[in-house]
Amino acid sequence: MMPAWWTCRDTGVRLSVPTDIAAHNKLCLRLSVAELGMDFYVAGESCWSKKDANGTWQLGCSLSPGLPDGVLDLLAAKGRLDRRLTSRDHESINVSLAWDLSTAPIPATLENYCQGSVCLFTAVPGDIGKQVRVIVKERMEVVVVAKCLWQLRVADGYLLGCQFINDDGFAQLCSCVSSDLIEHV
């Protein structure tokens, strides 16, 4: 069976497959992207499956030990790793990040954002799985709460992928960044 990639992280993958696969099955997954010359095998375990609206099965797998070093970097660099369902807006806005109420905010840059998430650049590593307050001071001060889902080491620091915690996170961000974007939501 040749599944189609749906989403991918370094320790997990969601695939579109033609048949149901029960949870807790040990799997050997062949992951291939022909145009990038990628073809490798990785051990995994099925975690969940569900049928989507098109009748195709979505399969969530954990990967152990995970994807080989550099695979996510290559996929992202070649534009093959985009999990967003809505378009993203590219900005370069100075913001501050606070990982909890007791620490001082650190400087960061908002790189891009979309309906459900934001990508940030910072000189220090993030705290994956933890909530972060994104403090934006453009036209007015807004604090948006997000959860850090991933980070990627880049030349001068780290890119952090964060998902908004509240449904109004995107609207809050738009309210202080660009009044034009709210009309498109």
CA distances from 63 to 7, 10, 11, 39, 163 (A): 13, 8, 5, 16, 22
Cα separation, 81 vs 74, whole angstroms = 9
pLDDT for the residue numbered 123: 93
Domain with CATH 2.40.10.220 in the chain: 4-77, 89-184
For residue 98, count other CB atoms closer than 10 A to its CB.
Answer: 17
Cα separation, 135 vs 103, whole angstroms = 13
Domain 89-184 has CATH 2.40.10.220: yes
38-47, 49-58, 68-77, 139-148: which has the minimum mean pLDDT?
68-77
Whether the Cβ atoms of residue 31 and residue 38 lie closer than 8 Å to each other: yes
Question: Could you tell me which residue, 14 or 75, shows the higher pLDDT?
Answer: 14
List b or e across 176-185, with b for residues whose CB sees 16 or more CB atoms inside 10 angstroms: bbbeebeeee
For residue 174, count other CB atoms closer than 10 A to its CB.
Answer: 21
Confidence of residue 91 (pLDDT cuts 50, 70, 90): low
Specify the CATH class of 4-77 in words: mainly beta
pLDDT digits (tens, 9 = 90+) for 144-156: 999 988 888 777 8
Q: Please say if the pLDDT value at position 35 is more than 90.
A: no
Tokens for 41? Answer: 């095998």
Question: Could you tell me which residue, 33 or 46, shows the higher pLDDT?
Answer: 46
Confidence of residue 90 (pLDDT cuts 50, 70, 90): low
What's the pTM value of the predicted model, to 2 decimals?
0.53
Cα separation, 59 vs 56, whole angstroms = 10
pLDDT for the residue numbered 5: 53
Query: What 8-state DSSP symbol labels residue 18?
Result: S
Share of the chain above pLDDT 70, in %: 78
Cα separation, 59 vs 39, whole angstroms = 20
pLDDT for the residue numbered 97: 94
Mean pLDDT confidence for 47-55: 80
- Token look-up 């979309």 returns 114
Confidence of residue 183 (pLDDT cuts 50, 70, 90): very low
Confidence of residue 184 (pLDDT cuts 50, 70, 90): very low
